[in-house]
Amino acid sequence: MSENAPPPPRILSIAGSDSSGGAGIQADIKTITMLGGYAMTAITAVTSQNTCGVVGVEALSPQFVLDQVESCLSDIGADAIKIGMLGSPETATLLAERLDTFAGPIVFDPVMVATSGSILADEDTIASFAALMDIATVVTPNLPELGVLAGREAIADDEVFDAAAALASRFGVQVLAKGGHAGDETQVIDRIVSPTGKLASFAHARIQTRHTHGTGCTLSSALATMLGYRQPLVNAVRIARAFTYAAIENAPGFGEGSGPMGHQAVRKLEPPEEIPR
C-alpha cells in the first residue's frame, strides 16, 4: 500500500456460502473487493446449490459463527458489517448480543428465500430477525420479505411506503425496500424510509434477464462497503444500486436457471438512468 493511500474499508460479511458462487458469501467477497474494500467472512451455513435451486443446507453451530466474528473483530476490526443468511435463530440471538456495541454501520439483508425459490429461513429464524433489526443501521428487504416482516400477506405497490415506514419506526432502522419483485415490467423502484418517515426513492428501467442470482446479497454488501467508506446513506444507496445494475448487465450467462451476475466485469460505475418520480 502506498504511504499516502488510505487503508481500504474493512467489511465483515456474516452469511451463508453458495457453492455455485452466485450469491451469499461468494457474491459478498466479489462485491466488496471490486469496490475497493477488504472482505472478511463469518460463514453461517454451507449450501449445495446452483442456478436451479438449493439441494441442501448445513448450518454451522451458532458458537462457531460467533467465534469467526470474534476472530475478525478482535484483530483486524471492521468499518461496517453485512448480515445475510443466518442458518438458525440461535445464531441471530448471539449475533445481536455481540454486535449491540459495534460502533460502525450494520446492513441486515433478511434472507428468507433464494432467487430460485428455495427456502433459506424457517419460521423460528424469521421470528429472530427482530433482534437484528434492533441493532441494524439499514435493513434491505425485498417486497415479499417486507410483507413477512410487516405482518402482511401481500403488499401492493401503493402500500410499500406505509409498510416500510411502520417497520422503520418500530425498530428505529432505515428500511431499503427493494422493488425487484413488484409487478411493473418496465421499471424497478427502490425506496429508503427512515424511522421518522423521511423517504427517498430511486427508479430505473428493468433489465429483462433471468440472470439475477445474488442481487440482494450484492446490493447489501455494496451498501455496507459504501457505508464503510463513510458515504452518506442516500449516496451509498445510489452507488450500491449502480454496482448491482452493472453486475446484472454484465452477467456471463452461466447456468440453466437464475444465472449469476458479472461482478468481475464492473470496472467503472455509471449509475443507471433514473426515471423521474
Catalytic residues: 178, 212, 214-217
For 269, the 3-state DSSP assignment is: coil
Name the residue type at position 87. G
d(CA 211, CA 250): 10
Query: What is the spatial distance between Cα 89 and Cα 128, in angstroms, rounded to a whole number?
Result: 5
Grid cell at residue 147: 410483507
- Tell me how far apart the alpha carbons of residues 95 and 70 are, in angstroms, rounded to a whole number: 10
Residue of 207, 240, 188 lying closest to 80 (CA atoms) = 240
DSSP-assigned letters across all residues of 182-227 = SS-SSEEEEEEE-TT--EEEEEEEPP--S--BTHHHHHHHHHHHHH
What is the rounded CA–CA span in Å between residue 71 and residue 268? Answer: 33
